[in-house]
Amino acid sequence: MNLKILSIALLSFGLAFAQGGAVIGYYPYWAQYSQFTPKNVHFERVSELHYASLTPSADGSIALADETDAANFDSLVTASAAHYVPLVVVIGGPDAGDAFAAIAADESLRSAFVKNVSDWVDSRGLSGVELDWQNPAADNATGYQALVRALKSGLNGKTLGAAVYPASVEVYGDALNEADYVIVFVGDHMTTDSSTVRPNMSLDDVKSAMDIFASKGIAKSKLIPVIALSGKSFSGATGFGSAHQGPGSGNDGYIPYKDLMAKFDTPDYKVTFDETSSSELAVGNGEAIVFSGIPSVRAISVWIRDNGFGGVALYDVSEDHPEAIISLLVTAGQVLRPDVDYAPQKKK
């Protein structure tokens, strides 16, 4: 086996998974706007990177969602290969539903789309694609399943991932078992529509979402939940069960995990951990912040590992803390990829 073939083998998804649970990190194009670039990625913390995203058009063509990020994407391709981390590109997003519906419903468009995707991935040496058709409707079921099967057969052995949403579970059918893995968007459970504050993404929320797909016969080893790395703030709230008056501080109430530290260094916030829901809460400055921290991410990772699921995906790598000591990617990795040297372990 020559070096090139060996490299391809090492980059294959199947091998990465065979060695333990996956820790997938998303790299979105908008990371550029917070001055996060590929040089900031800690490649040892992920088993696979997923770049978001490519946008499909109704004629089957594809393009980067944001061309201003093209140079960063090229750098990410190079750096990922240098670190032997498989790089997968996400195709789709919240505005791609109509294009997917048109492509999936027409065999010739499906073929054109699959060829475009395959050529794009091959020309850049990527490991595969993740189909992110968000919340397809019931009348998309036939087309969705045909599209998954067409991608699987047209990617020449490259990895195919499918991002799925619990509300659309009846749409996917058994086509999901064609995919190499299925990424389950657990979704925000604490929103401005919630009358009182509750955890945004508790262990129970993850369990429920995973069980929805496992009960449909999708292999558990393929199922991977997405854990958000943003906290969410709610003005006027004083804790779990209290009322709120909408988003608090941050970008429309969203605060990256790494930025929470600046808040918590002040004496203004009281940070606690709720044992019942295995979730974190900070209260202060006239608001409550719900977030996923080290204990809750560890709890989810342990449950994933102990119940035979495929791993976890964290959204996104730019929001994680750069220091390994309090990194959530490292927290998940220490459970799911314990052989990786993230940091020296305590000796007694």
Partner 1 sequence: MLFNNKLKCFLGLSALLSIAACSSMDADSSKDGNWPADFKTSEYSRINPDIANAQRKDSLAAAKKTAGCTVSTTDTSEDVRTFFSGDSNDVKTLYLDYAGLSVWPGYEQFHSGALYADFRVMVISNYHICKNTAAQDVAYLNGLPIDSALIARQYMLAGRIEGRAYRYCLSGETNVLQDTLQGELSSSGHVFSYLAHTYCLSAGNNQKYLIE
> What does the binding site for partner 1 look like in residue numbers (CB under 8 A)?
203, 207, 258-259, 261-262, 264-265, 267, 269-273, 275-278, 293-296, 298-299, 302-303, 306, 322-326, 342-348
118, with CB counted inside 10 A (0-12, 13-18, 19+), is middle
Q: From the CB of 242, what's the least distance to partner 1, in Å?
A: 18
Q: How far is the CB of 237 from partner 1 (least distance, A)?
A: 18
Task: Using alpha carbons, list the distances in angstroms from residue 24 to 27, 183, 346.
Answer: 10, 10, 26
Supply angle C-alpha 21, 25, 26, rounded to 5.
Answer: 140
Q: Least CB distance from residue 263 to partner 1, whole Å?
A: 10
> What residues contact residue 149 under an 8 Å CB cut-off, 6+ apart?
175, 178
Closer residue to partner 1 in complex, CB, 187/264: 264
In the complex with partner 1, the residue whose CB is nearer, 38 or 293, is: 293
Among candidates 296, 335, 331, which has minimal Cα distance to 204?
A: 296
Cβ proximity to partner 1, 120 vs 342, nearer residue: 342
In the bound complex, what is the minimum distance in angstroms from residue 325's beta carbon to partner 1? 5
Rounded Cα–Cα distance for residues 212 and 218 (Å): 9
C-beta of 50 vs 321, nearer to partner 1: 321
Question: What percentage of the chain's residues is helix, strand, coil (to nearest 5)?
Answer: 45, 25, 30
State the minimum distance, in angstroms, from the CB of residue 210 to partner 1: 12
Nearer to partner 1 among residue 254 and residue 264 (C-beta)? 264
Tell me whether residue 206 or residue 313 sits nearer to partner 1 (CB atom). Answer: 206
Residue with tokens 């083998």: 9
Residue 228 · residue 317 · CB < 8 Å: no
**In this structure, how many other beta carbons lie within 10 angstroms of the beta carbon of residue 95?**
10
Least distance (Å) from partner 1 to the CB of residue 280?
Answer: 8
